[in-house]
Amino acid sequence: MSMISIRDLNLSVTAGKKTTHILKDVSFDLEAGRITGVAGASGSGKTQTGLAVMGLSPTGAELSGSIDFDGVELVGMPAKQHNRLRGVQLSMVFQDPASAFHPMLTVGDQITDHLRHHQKVSKKVALAKAVEILGRTRVPHPEEAVKKYPHQFSGGQLQRIAFASAIICDPKVLIADEPTTALDVTVQAGILRLLRELCDDLDLAVLLVTHDFGVLSSVADTIVVMKNGVVVETGEREAVITAPQHEYTRSLIESLPGAEVSP
Amino acid sequence: MTSIDQAPAAATAHSPASGAPLLELDSVACEYKLDGGGRFRAVNGVSLQLGRSEVLGLVGESGCGKSTLAKLICGLEKPADGSITFDGHPVRALGLKKRAKELLGIQMVFQNPYASLNPRRRIRDQLDDALALNPDGTWTVESLLEAVDLPADSAQRYSHSFSGGQRQRIAIARALAAGPKVLVGDEPIASLDAFLQARIARMMRDLAIDSGASMIFISHDLSVVRDIADRVAVMEAGRIVEVGSTEQIWNDPNHPYTQKLLAAIPKVDGKGFIPG
ipTM entry = 0.76
Using the beta-carbon criterion (under 8 Å), do B61 and A186 form an inter-chain contact?
yes
Best residue in B222, B224, B259, B269 for a mutation probing chain A (most A CBs within 10 Å): B269
Please check the confidence at residue B2 and state whether its pLDDT lies above 70: no
Q: Are A252 and A37 spatial neighbours (Cβ–Cβ below 8 Å)?
A: no
Which residues of chain A, if any, have pLDDT below 70?
257-263
CA distance A8 to A64: 8
- Closest residue in chain A to residue B192, using alpha carbons only: A42
Query: Which stretches of chain A sit within 8 Å of chain B by CB?
Result: 41-43, 155, 184-186, 188-190, 192-193, 196, 211-215, 217-219, 221, 237-242, 252-253, 255-260
Nearest CA of chain B to the CA of A131: how many Å?
27
Q: What is the DSSP letter of B89?
A: E
Across B104-122, average pLDDT: 91
CA distance B186 to B70: 7
**Which CATH code is given to the segment(s) A4-254?**
3.40.50.300
Nearest to A255 among B198, B222, B265 (CB): B198
Can you tell me whether residue B240 is helix, strand or coil?
A: strand
Per-residue pLDDT reduced to its tens digit, B16-56: 445 689 999 999 999 998 888 888 999 999 999 999 999 99
Q: What ranges do the domains of chain A cover?
A: 4-254
Nearest CA of chain B to the CA of A106: how many Å?
22
Tell me the count of A-B CB pairs closer than 8 A.
103
Q: Are A71 and A5 spatial neighbours (Cβ–Cβ below 8 Å)?
A: no
- Closest residue in chain B to residue A241, using alpha carbons only: B270
Q: What ranges do the domains of chain B cover?
A: 53-78+95-263
Please check the confidence at residue B160 and state whether its pLDDT lies above 60: yes
Q: Are B139 and B174 spatial neighbours (Cβ–Cβ below 8 Å)?
A: no
Q: Are A221 and A236 spatial neighbours (Cβ–Cβ below 8 Å)?
A: yes
Residue B195 vs residue B130, higher pLDDT: B130
Using the beta-carbon criterion (under 8 Å), do B224 and A257 form an inter-chain contact?
yes
**Which CATH code is given to the segment(s) B53-78+95-263?**
3.40.50.300
Across B256-276, average pLDDT: 88
Nearest to A257 among B198, B273, B276 (CB): B198
pTM of the complete model = 0.81
Q: Are A180 and B234 spatial neighbours (Cβ–Cβ below 8 Å)?
A: no
Nearest to A259 among B261, B268, B272 (CB): B268
Contacts of B221 in chain A (CB under 8 A): 185
Using the beta-carbon criterion (under 8 Å), do B194 and A213 form an inter-chain contact?
yes
pLDDT at A9: 96
Please check the confidence at residue B275 and state whether its pLDDT lies above 90: no
pLDDT at A260: 54
CB of B135 within 8 Å of a chain A CB? The answer is no
Q: Are A152 and A66 spatial neighbours (Cβ–Cβ below 8 Å)?
A: no
pLDDT at B5: 44
